Amino acid sequence: MANFLLGRLLQSLVLLLIVSIIGFAVLHLAPGGPLSQFALVPGLSKEDLARIAHEMGLDRPLPVQYWEWLTRLVGGDWGRSYRDNQPVLAVIAGRLPATLELMGAAILISVFVGIWIGVMGAIRSYSLFDMLATVGAMVALSIPTFWFGLIVIYAFSVNLGWLPPGNRMTVGGDGSFLDYLHHLIAPALVLALVEVAIWSRYMRASMLDVINQDFIRTARAKGLPERTVLWHHALRNALLPMIALAGVEIPTLLGGALVTETVFTWPGMGRLLLDSLGYRDYPVIMGILMFSALLALLGNLLADIFAATADPRIRLT
221 makes contact with other proteins (CB under 8 A)? no
Residue 40, SS3?
Answer: coil
- The C-alpha atoms of residue 6 and residue 12 are separated, in whole angstroms, by 10
311 makes contact with other proteins (CB under 8 A)? no
| Residue of the chain from 53, 70, 77, 83 that contacts other proteins (CB under 8 A) | 83
| Residue of the chain from 2, 75, 76, 85 that contacts other proteins (CB under 8 A) | 85
Burial 167-187, CB ≥16 within 10 A → b, else e: ebbeeeeeeeeeeeeebbbbb
- Least CB distance from residue 274 to other proteins, whole Å? 7
202 makes contact with other proteins (CB under 8 A)? yes
91 makes contact with other proteins (CB under 8 A)? yes
Cα–Cα nearest to 204, from 117, 136, 139: 117
| Dihedral sign computed on CA atoms, order 109, 194, 285, 278 | negative
Amino acid at 279: Y
Site track for other proteins across 230-269, x = CB under 8 A: ---------------------xx-xxx-xx--xxxx-xx-
* Contacts of 282 by beta carbon, 8 Å cutoff, 6+ apart: 27, 28, 34, 82
| Residue of the chain from 113, 242, 297, 303 that contacts other proteins (CB under 8 A) | 297
Site for other proteins in 111-130 (CB under 8 A): none
| Residue of the chain from 69, 78, 79, 98 that contacts other proteins (CB under 8 A) | 98
39 makes contact with other proteins (CB under 8 A)? yes
Q: Which is nearer to other proteins, 65 or 157 (CB)?
A: 157
- Least CB distance from residue 30 to other proteins, whole Å? 3
Q: How many residues does the chain have?
A: 317
- The C-alpha atoms of residue 8 and residue 156 are separated, in whole angstroms, by 46
Number of residues that bind other proteins (CB under 8 A): 98
Residue range at the interface with other proteins (CB under 8 A); choices 56-64, 92-100, 110-118, 221-229: 92-100
- State CA 214 to chain mean position distance: 37
Please name every residue paired with 87 in a beta bridge, in sequence order, or none if there are none.
80
Please name every residue paired with 80 in a beta bridge, in sequence order, or none if there are none.
87
* Contacts of 310 by beta carbon, 8 Å cutoff, 6+ apart: 240, 243
Site for other proteins in 152-171 (CB under 8 A): 153-154, 157-158, 161, 164-168, 170-171
Task: Cite the beta strand spans of 170-227 per DSSP E.
Answer: none
Q: Which is nearer to other proteins, 16 or 224 (CB)?
A: 16
- The C-alpha atoms of residue 99 and residue 86 are separated, in whole angstroms, by 19
Residue 102: count other Cβ atoms within 10 Å of its Cβ. Answer: 27
293 makes contact with other proteins (CB under 8 A)? yes
Residue 101: count other Cβ atoms within 10 Å of its Cβ. Answer: 18
Residue range at the interface with other proteins (CB under 8 A); choices 24-32, 67-75, 115-123, 301-309: 24-32
213 makes contact with other proteins (CB under 8 A)? no
Amino acid at 228: T
185 makes contact with other proteins (CB under 8 A)? no
| Residue of the chain from 24, 292, 303, 308 that contacts other proteins (CB under 8 A) | 292
59 makes contact with other proteins (CB under 8 A)? no
Residue range at the interface with other proteins (CB under 8 A); choices 58-66, 101-109, 196-204, 217-225: 196-204
